Amino acid sequence: METIKLSIEELIFSFYSEGFFEQGMSIKEMYFPEMKDEELKILLEFASRSLLAKDLVTEVNNRYKVKEDYIGFIKIMNHAERTVKASKFSTDLKNEETISVHMSGDEVYLHKLLYDNQIHQISKISSKEDTMELVKEFFSFKDLTIAHNEVLFSMKRTEFEELLETVSQGLPSQSFMEGFTGNEMIKELINDLIYRKARMDSLLYMEYDEENTPDLLDVCFVIPGKAQSWLVTRNQTDEYNFEKCNENTLGQFIFKNKVITL
């Protein structure tokens, strides 16, 4: 897996170098809104030298251009056809970490923000299998079954929201729990959700229109448990399915054999 790391300044320069001026200006306005044109020129000069030292650019007609081997890394940051964004809470539930898997055609890239979002780490992933392994590693999934697991139970959106509200207070709904008397697996899932105060990790699936605007199409929640992890996915009737985490359901969500519009 080939990886490059770019500072904000280097990423802006790379966008400008490849003609993605709108994206470069957008990042400039986000991080350096008060910067004047002369200051920006100096910043880009420093960034070009830094990229030259990393052997990521080459001189073409008295201009520095991103090397052919790395243009794909910049293009995917400018525009992807679809993105899966994975987010997880720290063990103390106080902080959140995020990675993004950007896909365009058959190309797949992993994007991470490092050092308080100051550094962009971009890695080219060679296969779907490697993509799955990276997502499993991110969520610390171990020994997942390959086959699709049976749905333990389903809930309507309002019921799901009510459950989360109740669990966030550490008080499982008595009427809800009575419906699963004798089902130890469901009790285990609910107890895991209570332990995390209803805070769930997540996977978001997005696609982009011609203007590069992301459209959130689906969401999958992940509940890390003491003994195993759980998945909460949406079905065609807009209900939420609860099941044990498995590679089949995970792969279907990431590579989207189906899309359920939110």
Question: Alpha-carbon distance 2 to 248, whole Å?
Answer: 27
pLDDT (average), residues 96-114? 95
What are the beta bridge partners of residue 230? Answer: 223, 244
What pLDDT score was predicted for residue 16? Answer: 95
pLDDT (average), residues 131-155? 85
- For 35-58, b/e burial (b = at least 16 CB within 10 A) is eeeeebeebbeebbebbeeeebbe
Kindly indicate the confidence band of residue 173, based on its pLDDT and cuts at 50, 70 and 90.
low
The pLDDT > 70 percentage for the chain reads: 92
More confident residue, 63 or 120: 120
- Lowest mean pLDDT segment, chosen from 71-75, 115-119, 173-177: 173-177
CA distances from 195 to 68, 153, 168, 190 (A): 49, 20, 9, 9
What pLDDT score was predicted for residue 30? Answer: 92
What pLDDT score was predicted for residue 124? Answer: 96
**Listed residue (60, 58, 56, 65) closest to 122, CA to CA:** 56
Q: How many residues are there in the chain? A: 262
Is residue 77 within 8 A of residue 121, CB to CB? The reply is no
Q: Is the pLDDT of residue 31 over 90?
A: yes
Q: Is the pLDDT of residue 146 over 90?
A: no
What pLDDT score was predicted for residue 260? Answer: 45
pLDDT (average), residues 24-37? 93
Instruction: Return the residue matching tokens 């020129």.
Output: 41
Is residue 97 within 8 A of residue 87, CB to CB? The reply is yes
Q: Is 237 helix (H, G, I), strand (E, B) or coil?
A: coil
What are the beta bridge partners of residue 66? Answer: 57
Kindly indicate the confidence band of residue 170, based on its pLDDT and cuts at 50, 70 and 90.
confident
Structural domains of the chain ordered from first start: 1-78 (1.10.10), 153-255 (no CATH)
The pTM assigned to this predicted structure is: 0.89
